[in-house]
């Protein structure tokens, strides 16, 4: 949908701007067009150069004497983009294992295709697809990034099987999948609550139960597909949308039904706001989550789900530490991490818990006794839960949940859409001592190693706050440990941190694998993804696990190995803070490499050369902020953005940003205080008008 919203702009080549460039300065003929250096303000200023908007924010980096700073300005001058955002989430071990399982199943389906068993292959692909869509239902940003290679294989399978005439369930586009639900804000219109219910009530007989005129609205994916591939609405443009026209003219719905003015206004408003999808999954049946608010028979309307409430500090029960572990232990397999949730009630995320299932919301405000969740646990509303032969919860456990509801059912996790395992881990990590956290990380590292390289016991080394393990030679392990220790000191120095304090609360784990094959297997078996062939290292961070993975098999010189280690140690450190997006953490890591190793790491030149193509992929800020880019591209764009944030003119603001995150502030909140809200920051950094404040 992003392309329809933003279109494609013509971006002239920047080579001519770079010719004649000399050290630390832009080409003279380009310099003449640049405005004087401007003061940073809470709302970034911009100016016009020729026909393009140039953010003054970018121009300040000219004073740093870096070749690539001029290069960056030359690239950005020819760009105009838009705004939006989505914070990065975390991925559980169970989700990674499921991705690996589905990847293997896809390979099995490929063998069926090779054998000419096209319909059997199609059936297997359909089953994989359904599990895949259920797995990514939370739209966790990091999970989506890891899942994209599998999605691309499914899309290729669809293309091949379509040619053979095999029948397949429609596969939603990647744009539809990554269209994460927006929390209700101001006058924001919800598809699932404001539009879909009356579509089901007024149009269901012809276009949900049937496919009249070759048009179905049985699922959101069907609605987007339109009639014979012709779309019936375009995000951001209600005027001219066929769906609006046929309703507005009175041509639809037929059979005596009528869409009210308020309902039509909700449809037009939803389209104009970008047609954001906020249902469980694009391929889920509309009738499974879009229940009409009032029934003609006079039955009472379904109450709206309760809103997310933040803790006040006076609560006696914590969702993250007390309630979530209880639900995970007793409801797992049915309502959590289950393929088919009974009553369409899922609790993989807090948002799903609040939404409820077929019977409506399970929490009735602060009235615990009337809440369906408590009544089900007590056996007062049909079958007692948990079912399946599991023992009932004790009176003390039910009382704990009831107290949480009476206190307003507040949510003290990172985000309502965060997987419950991550919420639990973060709740535990917040109260664990550094020693307990380091011990847990080491234990989990050994478990992860066994999955990646079974039967190959790793050598280990503990140096300072780092636990290094791997199957490389003893000399390589020792050398890696020394490079990690050096990288930790460089990160502290580069980010102006206290040299006497540990870099990471709970320490850092570093895996060193002797071969490229083992490094690749680590990605497949523990992270459920294919690692890019050019990678020789990467990082990962969530509330429990913070680690770096390095391949000992490479043609890099010693100084380049130091640079790779620094990049990933810095990324893991910054990525360990709450809500930090990948582009920012990776951008910090790459900027530290440029500062420390720009002459000794040939990748710096490669990054410079790849930057224009990377920026061209950001057709609008939501492409970056909604995590639609692959990791390499996101890292390059992040490198450019963070470079300006870390320059001399903004160093105090950057230090304040890092200080706030170390104090526990989420990235978005810290950004809003130190620079600007992320959506405003990126929009202005790319010379676009920021979004209207609500």
* pLDDT, position 180: 40
The long-range contacts involving 386-393, CB below 8 angstroms and separated by at least 24 positions, are 386/330, 386/331, 386/334, 387/334, 387/342, 388/333, 388/334, 390/330, 393/326, 393/330
User: pLDDT band for position 39 (50/70/90)?
Assistant: very low
- Residues of the chain with pLDDT > 70, as a percent, come to 79
Residue 172 has pLDDT above 60, yes or no: yes
- Give the pair of three-digit tokens for residue 666: 């989420």
Residue 33 has pLDDT above 80, yes or no: no
Task: Compute φ and ψ for 547, nearest 5 degrees.
Answer: -145, 160
- 241-272 pLDDT per residue, tens: 888 888 877 777 865 567 887 888 888 888 88
**113-117, 512-516, 567-571 — most confident range:** 567-571
User: pLDDT band for position 78 (50/70/90)?
Assistant: very low
Kindly report the CA angle at 321 between 370 and 433, in degrees rounded to 5?
165
- Give the pair of three-digit tokens for residue 187: 């006058």
Q: How far apart are CA 348 and CA 418, in angstroms?
A: 8
pTM assigned to the model: 0.59
Q: How far apart are CA 618 and CA 537, in angstroms?
A: 25
* pLDDT, position 30: 26
Q: How far apart are CA 673 and CA 654, in angstroms?
A: 11
Find out whether the peptide bond into 253 is cis, omega within 30 degrees of 0.
yes
User: pLDDT band for position 304 (50/70/90)?
Assistant: very low
By DSSP bridging, strand 508-513 and strand 466-470 are: parallel
Please tell me which residue, 681 or 588, carries the higher pLDDT value.
Answer: 588
- Each residue of 144-168: b (16+ CB within 10 Å) or e? bbbbbbbbebbeebbeebeeeebeb
Residue 12 has pLDDT above 60, yes or no: no
Residue 240 has pLDDT above 80, yes or no: no
3-12, 303-312, 645-654, 681-690: range with lowest mean pLDDT: 3-12
Q: How far apart are CA 252 and CA 203, in angstroms?
A: 8
91-100, 208-217, 361-370, 425-434: range with lowest mean pLDDT: 208-217
User: pLDDT band for position 206 (50/70/90)?
Assistant: confident
Residues 333-344 have a mean pLDDT of 80
Please tell me which residue, 497 or 208, carries the higher pLDDT value.
Answer: 497
Residues 194-222 have a mean pLDDT of 80
User: pLDDT band for position 495 (50/70/90)?
Assistant: very high
78-92, 125-139, 349-363, 596-610: range with lowest mean pLDDT: 78-92
Residue 14 has pLDDT above 50, yes or no: no
Q: How far apart are CA 410 and CA 138, in angstroms?
A: 20
* pLDDT, position 485: 95
Residue 610 has pLDDT above 50, yes or no: yes
By DSSP bridging, strand 466-470 and strand 46-49 are: unpaired
- Bridge partners (DSSP) of residue 539 are 548
Mean pLDDT across the chain: 78
**492-496, 523-527, 626-630 — most confident range:** 492-496
Residue 567 has pLDDT above 90, yes or no: yes
Which residues, 6+ apart, have CB-to-CB distance to 675 below 8 Å? Answer: 645, 650, 653, 657, 681
How remote is the C-alpha of 555 from its chain's centroid? 33
Q: Is CATH 3.10.450.50 correct for 433-642+656-669?
A: no
Q: How far apart are CA 201 and CA 255, in angstroms?
A: 13
- Residues of the chain with pLDDT > 90, as a percent, come to 33
Judging by beta carbons within 10 Å of its beta carbon (0-12, 13-18, 19+), is residue 13 exposed, middle or buried?
A: exposed
Judging by beta carbons within 10 Å of its beta carbon (0-12, 13-18, 19+), is residue 652 exposed, middle or buried?
A: exposed
Which residues, 6+ apart, have CB-to-CB distance to 543 below 8 Å? Answer: 90, 422, 425, 426, 428, 429, 430
- Each residue of 615-635: b (16+ CB within 10 Å) or e? beebbbbbbbbbbbbebebbb
């Amino acid at each position: 949908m992003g392309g329809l919203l933003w279109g494609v702009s013509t971006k002239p080549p920047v080579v001519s701007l770079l010719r004649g460039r000399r050290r630390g300065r832009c080409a003279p003929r380009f310099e003449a067009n640049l405005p004087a250096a401007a003061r940073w303000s809470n709302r970034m200023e911009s100016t016009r150069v020729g026909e393009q908007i140039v953010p003054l924010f970018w121009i300040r980096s000219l004073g740093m004497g870096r070749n690539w700073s001029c290069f960056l300005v030359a690239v950005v001058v020819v760009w105009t983009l838009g705004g939006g955002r989505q914070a990065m989430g975390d991925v559980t071990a169970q989700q990674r294992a499921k991705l690996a399982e589905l990847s293997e199943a896809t390979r099995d389906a490929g063998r069926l295709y090779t054998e000419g068993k096209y319909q059997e292959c199609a059936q297997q692909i359909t089953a994989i697809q359904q599990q895949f869509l259920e797995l990514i239902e939370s739209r966790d940003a990091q999970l989506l990034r890891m899942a994209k290679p599998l999605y691309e294989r499914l899309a290729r399978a669809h293309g091949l099987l379509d040619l053979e005439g095999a029948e397949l369930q429609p596969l939603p586009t990647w744009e539809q999948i990554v269209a994460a639900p927006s929390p209700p804000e101001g006058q924001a219109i919800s598809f699932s609550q404001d539009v879909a219910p009356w579509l089901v009530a007024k149009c269901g007989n012809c276009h949900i139960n049937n496919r009249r005129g070759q048009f179905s609205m049985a699922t959101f994916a069907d609605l987007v597909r339109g009639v014979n591939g012709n779309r019936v609405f375009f995000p951001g443009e209600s005027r001219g949308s066929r769906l609006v026209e046929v309703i507005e003219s009175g041509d639809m719905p037929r059979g005596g039904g009528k869409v009210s003015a308020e309902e039509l206004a909700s449809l037009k408003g939803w389209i104009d706001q970008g047609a954001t999808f906020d249902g469980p999954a694009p391929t889920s049946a509309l009738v499974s989550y879009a229940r009409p608010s009032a029934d003609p028979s006079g039955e009472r309307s379904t109450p709206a789900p309760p809103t997310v409430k933040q803790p006040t500090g006076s609560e006696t029960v914590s969702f993250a530490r007390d309630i979530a572990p209880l639900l995970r232990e007793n409801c797992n397999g049915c309502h959590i991490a289950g393929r088919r949730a009974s009553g369409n009630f899922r609790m993989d995320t807090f948002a799903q818990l609040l939404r409820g299932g077929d019977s409506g919301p399970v929490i009735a405000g602060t009235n615990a006794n009337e809440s369906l969740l408590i009544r089900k646990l007590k056996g007062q509303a049909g079958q007692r839960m948990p079912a399946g032969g599991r023992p009932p919860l004790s009176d003390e456990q039910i009382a704990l949940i009831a107290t949480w509801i009476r206190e307003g059912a507040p949510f003290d996790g990172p985000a309502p859409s965060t997987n419950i395992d991550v919420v639990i881990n973060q709740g535990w990590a917040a109260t664990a001592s550094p020693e307990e956290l380091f011990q847990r990380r080491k234990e989990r590292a050994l478990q992860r190693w066994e999955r990646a390289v079974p039967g190959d016991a790793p050598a280990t080394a503990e140096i300072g706050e780092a636990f290094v393990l791997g199957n490389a030679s003893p000399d390589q392990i020792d050398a890696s440990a020394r490079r990690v220790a050096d990288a930790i000191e460089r990160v502290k120095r580069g980010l102006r941190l206290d040299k006497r304090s540990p870099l990471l609360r709970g320490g850092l784990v570093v895996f060193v694998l002797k071969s490229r094959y083992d490094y690749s297997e680590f990605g497949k078996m523990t992270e459920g993804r294919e690692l890019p062939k050019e990678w020789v290292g990467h990082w990962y961070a969530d509330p429990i696990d913070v680690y770096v993975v390095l391949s000992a098999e490479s043609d890099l010189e010693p100084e380049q190995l130091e640079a790779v280690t620094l990049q990933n140690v810095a990324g893991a450190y910054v990525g360990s803070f709450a809500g930090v997006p990948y582009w920012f953490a990776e951008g910090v890591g790459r900027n530290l490499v440029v500062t420390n190793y720009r002459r000794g790491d040939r990748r710096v030149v490669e990054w410079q050369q790849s930057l224009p193509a990377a920026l061209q992929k950001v057709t609008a800020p939501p492409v970056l902020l909604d995590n639609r880019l692959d990791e390499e591209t996101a890292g390059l764009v992040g490198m450019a953005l963070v470079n300006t944030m870390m320059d001399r003119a903004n160093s105090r603001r950057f230090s304040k940003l890092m200080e706030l995150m170390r104090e526990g502030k989420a990235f978005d909140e810290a950004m809003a205080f130190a620079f600007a809200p992320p959506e405003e920051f990126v929009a202005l950094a790319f010379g676009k008008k920021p979004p209207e404040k609500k």
